[in-house]
Structure 1
Amino acid sequence: MSEQAPPPPYATAVARVRRLPAGEESDDRLAVEEPLEIRVNGEPVAVTMRTPGHDDELALGFCLTEGIPARAVRVPADLAANTVEVEAPGFDASRLRRAFYTSSSCGVCGKGAIEQVAVEAAPVESALCVSVELVASLPERLRAGQTVFEATGGLHATGLFTASGSLLCLREDVGRHNALDKVVGWAAAAGRLPLADAVLCVSGRLSFELVQKASVAGCPVVVAVGAPSSLAVELAVDRRITLCGFAREGRVNVYSVPERVAA
């Protein structure tokens, strides 16, 4: 693996650790986890546990993938403020039954009803076709760019790739859903939505929520090192997303819309 740049200082912290059975004590570098309050038109709508950095992308991606029509994002110069302001003209925050609370492990935990989990998105229309060799190589390409994971071993990542395998954007976070939101936020700010000609790769398993976010972003192919859940596959079939799991060592399991992956 090529030498990686050091992680940004706000993304890691140092803790003293005793290493057993040797009993030696030394410093260990940890991934930072802090709350971020997302406010829409001045009203708090979500608190998410995240790794600081790219908070504007996180807020923008979160809002878009939750059906909130965000237009502009303001982040204070001091990251320790742990707030971000989102402008969404015409959006009535009172329509939300409750404020979201998202943990670093589960983005939809705490939502009051199943209808609050589902976000409307049209089936993904895309003529994209990628090779099985490319799909199987993406997790390794993603791993090569994970600078904070290299330092801490404690983060998820999402990467956005072209059909030829070039990395467009990579984001890391303690929450897998946050990493994906950051990438979607980057794509929105760059004018790249919908992602009809791109591939998303995530470092862990494939949950319903990740597939839902990919569908709102219009991405036709989503790849993971791990397994999908049953609901993730159901949603991928419904939204016409090609879902690829266990991508490694030249092998891939394709769970939906397999015609987009050429053997």
Structure 2
Amino acid sequence: MNMQMNGAITVVTGGNTPIGTGIVKSFLLHNALVIAPVPDADAARLLRQETESVSSGQLITILTDVMDYGRVNDIKNCIQELYGRVHLVVAAFNNNQHSKPLLDIDLREWQKAVDENITAHFITGRVALQLMKEQQCGMFVSICNADVLEHRPYASLTRLLTENQTELSVILSEEVRNYNIRYYHLFVKDMITEKPAVAGSDAYTATPQMTGDHIIKLYHRQTENSHQLFQYFPEQYACS
């Protein structure tokens, strides 16, 4: 059994997304306790199905609405009461693709996009980072799926949301830098979410589970430039 995360209390919001599921599986394989807030019972069931082959670690799914600050804050209070602290929080929400021109986007679509791509990240970050400030330590990772930009460069709303996510990370990282909190904004690219990477394929191709392994390396400062806010996976992507 790999024990790199033995005893670590982790939270993965968006654990029911393809990238989030891979991160959860990686953490479990490294013997972490993983708390995964999910929107409904079906999402919890699917996440458990995807990770049922893993015998190490412990998965706790919690049904909640990540858009409800009060309910997310209740989870924080439960973590404090049961475990005393949290070591690592990952926000792995989908970066949704919006290909319409801005002037053609319905206001309901706009609000939904802002909620899912900005507000959810903010609420997760606000609650998690407040807890880490209280405990004077912790690590927070915000995931940005760069594929939605790479393959559709003219998706105006997608670009706008991604840039605002990035700026949100810049601001939050500045606000917590004096509290012994490590904040990372991790750009991931060329994710294979339907099947494993095939030997001999593009060297930049990676799986969600490999993303989780990379975060664990960051956690243990086993990567180059682990002091920098912006991180890239695969790491070759930073040079491409």
Larger radius of gyration: 1
User: TM-score, structure 2 length as denominator?
Assistant: 0.33
Greater fraction helix: 2
User: TM-score, structure 1 length as denominator?
Assistant: 0.30
